Amino acid sequence: MKKALSTLLYAAVLAVACNAQTAVTIESNVNYDILARADVIKEIGLTDAQKSKVTCAVAAHTKAINDSIQDLVGEASGDIQEQINGIVKKQQANLHKQLAAILDEKQLKRFEQVELQLAGIDAFSREPIKKALSFTKEQSAMITKLTSEIEEAIQSMVENGTYKEIEGGGVALELRPEDEKKLEEMGRKAQTQLAATFTDEQKKKWEELTGPAFKPAKQ
């Protein structure tokens, strides 16, 4: 199964592709690729028919983003970050509309809850989450610090990874199994560290956003 890229990892991959000296800043976005995971499919309760439609929708979404970004990388300019963020935001809005037509309300809500839990520290960089939780200056600084630590670790992972063609066109980065596991663990740990600083009000809101704890299948 192809592993999904976190926003931080995707930014690092793009920096390498563009021969950038520093990581490209990509806005944190919803990771729809987790819909390919068997444990997520089971948690959401997708039927075989829904699974087939979701797989096609996500594949088309990924290809559309890859194709658009590859075109930009060939002519990298000073505003490439803004252009890429615009592309991703537009494609994600389109995919969300498709999923809303495929999944029922309960399934879509559970997907959103599980996705936040799996997003690691990335989740706290999203504008809707920042607005909902109203982070203090200290918490915001902590998010920056934890994110930076993960970004540093990701750089070496990208260098050791391999690129493979994906169905429908484009390429995807595959990390070494040990790096995949390390990245997921770092993300969960960072999210837990920040959550430990939440006020009662923040805890209540976060629980509403994430729902019951999701237990990923053992790899």
Residue 24: partners with Cβ closer than 8 Å, 6 or more residues away:
11, 14, 15, 18, 80, 81, 84
Contact 158, 16 (CB under 8 A): yes
Is the distance from CB of 191 to CB of 121 less than 8 angstroms?
yes
Distance between CA atoms of residues 30 and 42, nearest Å: 19
Average pLDDT, the chain: 81
- Asked if pLDDT for residue 6 goes beyond 60, the answer is no
Instruction: Yes or no: say if 154 and 8 are a contact pair by the CB < 8 Å rule.
Output: yes
pLDDT band at 85 (very low <50, low <70, confident <90, very high): confident
191 pLDDT band (50/70/90 cuts)? very high
Q: Which residue's structure tokens are 């610090």?
A: 145
Residues 60/2, Cβ–Cβ less than 8 Å: no
**What length is written for the chain?**
219
| 62 has pLDDT over 80 | yes
Q: Tokens 């994110």 label which residue?
A: 147
Tens digit of each residue's pLDDT (9 = 90 or more) over 128-180 = 999 999 999 999 999 999 988 888 888 777 777 666 665 555 556 667 778 87
Residue 24 Cα to chain centre, angstroms: 15
pLDDT digits (tens, 9 = 90+) for 8-43: 444 444 444 444 433 444 455 788 989 999 999 999
- Report, as an integer, the average pLDDT of 177-196: 88
Q: Which residue has the higher pLDDT, 65 or 195?
A: 195
Partners of 171 in beta bridges: 165
- Is residue 199 predicted with pLDDT exceeding 60? yes
Residue 109 structure tokens = 């809500």
Q: What is the pLDDT of residue 166?
A: 56
Top mean pLDDT of 30-39, 80-89, 195-204 is at 195-204
Question: Can you give the pTM of this predicted structure?
Answer: 0.79
Amino acid at 179: D
pLDDT at residue 91 tops 80: yes
- So what's the pLDDT on residue 183? 82
**What average pLDDT score do residues 89-118 get?**
95
Beta-bridge partners for 172: 164
